[in-house]
Amino acid sequence: MLVSVKLYATLRGYQPRDGVLEIEEGASVQEVLHSLGVPVEEAKVVFVNGRHASLDQGLQQGDKLAAFPAVGGG
């Protein structure tokens, strides 16, 4: 099945080339990040379809996954 993936800031280097990834049905957010080589501990904020999600949330066909690292500033 296909899901859209958008990685931001320092995670951007792990972004799939066309922003779409083929995964096994029911794969978790953590499994997807791992398959892309993303250090899971660096993905501090995760959204699926615009809603906050946990790393163990399963994904479905057509889902949109977004991940952000911790962001500092002042």
Q: Is the dihedral of CA 19, 14, 3, 44 positive or negative?
A: negative
**Does residue 73 form part of some domain?**
no
CB atoms under 10 Å from CB of 17, counted, come to: 6
Tokens 């790393």 appear where?
Answer: 55
Tokens (6 digits) for 61: 């066909």
Residue 71: is its pLDDT beyond 90? no
- pLDDT single digits (tens) 10-64: 999 999 999 999 999 999 999 999 999 999 999 999 999 999 999 999 999 999 9
**Does residue 6 form part of some domain?**
yes
**Does residue 74 form part of some domain?**
no
Which structural domain range is residue 39 located in?
2-68
Tally of structural domains, the chain: 1
> Where residue 63 sits, what CATH number does that domain have?
3.10.20.30
In contact, 15 and 21? CB cutoff 8 Å = no
**Does residue 56 form part of some domain?**
yes
